[in-house]
Amino acid sequence: MNDKNNVFIFDTTMRDGEQSPGASMSLEEKIQIARIFDELGIDIIEAGFPIASPGDFEAVTAISKILKNAIPCGLSRASKKDIDACHQALKAAPRFRIHTFISTSPLHMKHKLNKTPEQVLDAIKESVTYARNLTDDVEWSCEDGTRTDMDYMCKSVELAISCGAKTINIPDTVGYTIPSEFTKIITTLKNKVPNIDKAILSVHCHNDLGLAVANSLAGVSAGVRQVECTINGIGERAGNAALEEIVMAIRTRNDLMPYTTGIKTELLSKASKIVSNATFPVQFNKAIVGKNAFAHEAGIHQDGMLKNRETYEIMTPESVGVKKTSLVMGKHSGRHAFKEKLNDLGYTDVTDDVIQSAFGKFKILADKKKHVYDDDIAALTDESMVLDKYVINLKSLKVFAGTGEPQKAEMTLDVYGEIKSTSETGDGPVDAIFKCIKVLYPHDVKLLLYQVHAVTEGTDAQATVSVRIEENGKTTVGQSADTDTLVASANAYLSALNKMIIKRKKTAPIEHETDKMKGI
Ligand SMILES: CC(=O)SCCNC(=O)CCNC(=O)[C@H](O)C(C)(C)COP(=O)(O)OP(=O)(O)OC[C@H]1O[C@@H](n2cnc3c(N)ncnc32)[C@H](O)[C@@H]1OP(=O)(O)O
Ligand SMILES: CC(C)C(=O)C(=O)O
């Protein structure tokens, strides 16, 4: 690979990115972002638009002083006072770039600038020449390039280069072009502008039609060697081309796009987090840096991943700084992934029966809940591990609660294989439930503790109920988890009773025969 194939990464997160509504960044945030961008390997950092405000000026000045590798850059209109402000803000850096722009589309020239095409050519000549006297690194952009007449664009690009611009940027300002058209624009410039080899061609794409990255890559394949982009794709309206997507597309499909960038891709995830903390959250399904970008929920995919990760993974999470692929447990997950999850949680010696039982419960829970967390799975498995030894099991429960009426529970239990039902009122629904249990399985234990807590967050969280009972000075704890707190309460009490019965059998083997007869 030779240098001809290196693509320069020009980041405009702190300039065009900051133009997103809600993305204003403080000086401290910009400095933090600039430091990680410098480390990330970005070639040119457009740190702001110095004439825009004292704050922007200050940020560009501060960033110019701290960059170790990247070249700082500021934006300016075709105006001497804008260019002077840029120069003042950037001049502390050993190397800096002044980026100046003016619209070249008929629409913009007439309605926005109120200038004729000839006057715009004059403005290009004056601004680029002026900037070139302040630095030899001048970039010129033809705003609304993709809606510009091609012959006029060729003329203005030739003029900007002859006035000393070293980088010529073709923006798709309103995200209007498509890859085939953009390829044609770049190819025409390369073929028709006589001095085009004196400058680096660049693209700057917006995402109004969701094509910013595709158009940028079309530009690269057609011969541009700088792409302007932002982390997380933030920017005016629907945003700019996302840096992380361009870089990872080039890296992943190097067979079709044999180019290089200087980006240390393992820092992409960190850079994305820093930018989103300063601006706004990244959508879950965002390519490369979204929360779900390396998460698999579907059983068939999870099974494939466990057998060979390449089945569903075109790049490794590690390559973008994500620790590992996550197999998210949800209603679409299968047994292979469930077993793997139990292993990860330390359940290494559970029997197939327990796995089967826990998996069945997990599917029911996943139907009820949006997120099934590790703690949910642990609670279900704990319950399944002792359940096959239980002699009293809940078959059904209905609770009538609310204001006015006394609270009532209707319950059916399987007690040593016999199906028994009752209906009791109580001082609250839990009291009614516990009374039912006492009627269906008469016993004489002391209730020491009844405690509820949510295993996970949200109103659909599983509740874990703990019950502690005492018999002959010995205490037994029962626990159960369910999204229905009352069902968890019944099961927790039954769990304590069952464990107590198991304990009795262990300490007094003769007694347990009479247990059944006495109903104790
Ligand atoms: C496509 C892009 O992303 S371009 C960058 C857009 N970013 C920004 O606009 C953010 C920063 N902007 C600002 O803070 C302000 O707009 C400023 C400081 C630049 C200018 O503010 P104001 O002087 O109040 O002017 P305002 O923004 O209302 O209007 C823009 C003026 O610049 C002119 N203008 C726009 N682009 C250019 C250009 N490239 N070269 C010269 N003049 C231009 C407009 O024609 C208009 O001029 P007019 O006052 O003679 O009609
Ligand atoms: C100033 C230019 C590069 C721009 O931001 C655009 O056209 O979108």
CATH architecture of 3-278: Alpha-Beta Barrel (3.20)
Rounded CA-CA distance 235/13 in Å is 7
Q: To test the ligand 1 pocket, which listed residue (12, 25, 60, 77) has its Cβ within 8 A of the most ligand atoms?
A: 77
Rounded CA-CA distance 485/414 in Å is 21
Protein residue with its CA nearest to atom 11 in ligand 1:
52
CA of 207 to the centre of ligand 1 (A): 22
pLDDT in tens, the chain (520 residues): 458 999 999 999 999 999 999 999 999 999 999 999 999 999 999 999 999 999 999 999 999 999 999 999 999 999 999 999 999 999 999 999 999 999 999 999 999 999 999 999 999 999 999 999 999 999 999 999 999 999 999 999 999 999 999 999 999 999 999 999 999 999 999 999 999 999 999 999 999 999 999 999 999 999 999 999 999 999 999 999 999 999 999 999 999 999 999 999 999 999 999 999 999 999 999 999 999 999 999 999 999 999 999 999 999 999 999 998 889 999 999 999 999 999 999 888 889 989 999 999 999 989 888 888 887 888 788 778 777 778 999 999 999 988 877 899 999 999 999 999 999 999 999 999 999 999 999 999 999 999 998 766 677 777 888 898 998 888 887 888 888 999 999 999 999 999 888 777 666 544 443 444 344 3
CA of 75 to the centre of ligand 1 (A): 11
CATH domain 389-518 topology: Double Stranded RNA Binding Domain (3.30.160)
Annotation-wise, does 232 bind a ligand?
no
ipTM for the complex?
0.98
Rounded CA-CA distance 78/438 in Å is 87
384 lines ligand 2 (CB under 6 A): no
Q: To test the ligand 1 pocket, which listed residue (12, 49, 206) has its Cβ within 8 A of the most ligand atoms?
A: 49
Alpha helices in 223-334 (DSSP H): 243-252, 268-278, 299-307
pTM given for the model:
0.82
Domain spans of the chain? 3-278, 295-385, 389-518
CA of 370 to the centre of ligand 2 (A): 41
Q: To test the ligand 2 pocket, which listed residue (99, 101, 168, 224) has its Cβ within 8 A of the most ligand atoms?
A: 101
Rounded CA-CA distance 357/273 in Å is 40
Counts for the chain of helices (H) and strands (E), in that order: 17, 16
CA of 228 to the centre of ligand 2 (A): 9
Annotation-wise, does 336 bind a ligand?
no
235 lines ligand 2 (CB under 6 A): no
Annotation-wise, does 108 bind a ligand?
no
239 lines ligand 2 (CB under 6 A): no
49 lines ligand 2 (CB under 6 A): no
